[in-house]
Amino acid sequence: MHIQDIFARDPTTFSFEFFPPKTERGAELLFDTIKQLDRLSPSFVDVTYGAGGSTRDLTHDLVLRIHRESKTTSIPHLTTICHSRTEIEEILSRYAAEGIGNILALRGDPPRDAQNWDRTKDEFKNATDLVKFIKTFNDSGMHPDSRGFGIGVAGFPEGHPDTPNRLEEMDNLKRKIDAGTDYIITQLFFENRDFYDFRERCELAGITIPILAGLMPITSIVGMKRMANLAAGARFPSALIRAVDRCQDDDEAVKRIGIHWATQQCLQLLEHDVRGVHFYTLNHSDATRQIYETLALEHVAQRSG
Ligand code: FAD
């Protein structure tokens, strides 16, 4: 389903992010998780892409499997770094032929084995270039939906480390939106006021498309450290760090704290008319299901029509 139709149907969207496992067994386990979360009727789910193409087929195959076997719309991420224009066009053509309706368009960071990658070699310098390219692809009529792919991009409530100048960052975000973006998913954050402020700054910049708030319930210290590494710009508040530190050796307690924190964040976001909540699931269903249950989100998610 095209993202514009999803926004027309769901007054508040709830979506879940997965990453493609590298083994057959991992893929089967993930599919069990997806089936469990499918019962919550998410607005859509999305699948990450290993920058540089390291998960090219894994992402593709998982997106397709969800598309065929589940009732939920599946959206692939696509990063441009280390990819040529021809490669990106091939990937888009394949998704279009298979009826995938949307793309989350990203630049990505150099993969671990190409940390010194010379970015001047990249044909796409940033995600704006990718959005423009997808727009041209859409205009060429190669997608079965006459609107072409729906396009999402990333936003960074606390700023992206590549742009220390926050005013310039909003100008860049505005360019990315004006190139033809339909919605923004934010980087995960743990302080809602960072999100509210970002949303207001977007409004001041004339950005009016839906902004979905990225939440990651912490379920383990290992997961928290992993995310701190991956999530550019995300700040861990002292109250959260103190609470987690107090129960270093008690995994269950860490998980309870993480889920409680995310539940409170979600409740407050709904109070503040968030357009959508995007859960970074790290391929597990527990935390998201508990937040759904505690807040009775199935009632919030009631659809029109
Ligand atoms: P951009 O929007 O291109 O931003 C990167 C830099 O370019 C910024 O400094 C920006 O200000 C600047 N810029 C943007 N447009 C312009 C312009 N028109 N002119 C000048 N400068 C410009 N990474 C992965 O590898 N795989 C994933 O699947 C993945 N999924 C993600 C999903 C979400 C929701 C988020 C928030 C991040 C995700 N990331 C993923 C991480 C992301 O790719 C990195 O944070 C990366 O450093 C920036 O990507 P971007 O798309 O925001 O880049």
Q: How many CB atoms lie within 10 A of CB 96?
A: 20
Regarding the beta carbon of 79 and ligand 1, being less than 6 Å apart is answered yes
Residue 305: per-residue pLDDT: 53
What is the arithmetic mean of pLDDT over 112-119?
Answer: 78
Tally Cβ neighbours within 10 Å of residue 159.
Answer: 18
Q: Find the mean pLDDT for residues 125-132.
A: 97
Position 138 scores a pLDDT of 97
What are the structure tokens assigned to 89, written together?
């066009």
> Could you identify the atom of ligand 1 that is nearest to the CA of residue 126?
3
Active site residues per annotation: 17
82: left (phi over 0), alpha (psi -120 to 50) or beta: left
pLDDT at 225: 82
Q: What is the pLDDT of residue 244?
A: 92
Residues 176, 179: Cα–Cα separation, whole Å:
5
What tens digit of pLDDT does each residue of 237-252 get?
999 999 999 998 899 9
pLDDT at 228: 80
How many angstroms is it from 247 CA to the middle of ligand 1? 34
Domain containing residue 292: 3-304
Lowest mean pLDDT among 132-141, 161-170, 173-182, 275-284: 161-170
Query: Using a 6 Å cutoff on CB, does residue 109 contact ligand 1?
Result: yes
Look at the alpha carbons of 244, 246, 251, 257 in this order and tell me if their dihedral is positive or negative: negative
CATH code of the domain containing 201: 3.20.20.220
pLDDT computed for residue 100 by the predictor: 98
What spacing in Å lies between the alpha carbon of 270 and ligand 1's midpoint? 26
Q: Is the CB of 80 under 6 A from ligand 1?
A: no
CA of 106 to the centre of ligand 1 (A): 5
154 lines ligand 1 (CB under 6 A): yes
Q: Establish whether residue 54 lines the binding site of ligand 1, counting it when its CB lies within 6 angstroms of any ligand atom.
A: no
- Mean pLDDT to the nearest integer, 269-298: 95
Q: pTM for this one?
A: 0.96
Q: What was the pLDDT predicted at 273?
A: 97
Cα(81) to centroid(ligand 1), Å: 10
Residue 168 pLDDT > 60 = yes
Q: Which of 48, 49, 106 to mutate to test the pocket of ligand 1 (most atoms within 8 A of CB)?
A: 106
pLDDT tops 70 at residue 181: yes
**Ligand 1 contact via 59 beta carbon (within 6 Å):** no
Q: State how many domains the chain has.
A: 1
User: Percentage of the chain with pLDDT > 70?
Assistant: 99
Contact status, residue 14 vs residue 274, Cβ threshold 8 Å: no
Going by pLDDT thresholds of 50, 70 and 90, the confidence category of residue 52 is confident
The ligand 1 atom at the shortest distance from the C-alpha of residue 111 is: 25
Phi-psi region of 180 (alpha: psi -120 to 50; beta: other; left: phi over 0): left
Contact 143, 102 (CB under 8 A): no
Beta strands in the chain (DSSP E): 13-18, 44-47, 74-79, 102-106, 150-155, 183-188, 211-215, 276-280
Q: pLDDT value at position 136?
A: 97
Condensed to tens digits (0 to 9), the pLDDT of residues 210-240 reads 999 999 999 998 888 888 877 877 789 999 9
User: Above 60 in pLDDT, residue 158?
Assistant: yes
Which segment, 100-114, 238-252, 265-279, is predicted with the most confidence on average? Answer: 265-279
Q: How far is the CA of 107 from the centre of ligand 1 (A)?
A: 5
Q: Is 181 in the pocket of ligand 1 (CB under 6 A)?
A: no
Least confident of 79-88, 141-150, 222-231, 290-299: 222-231
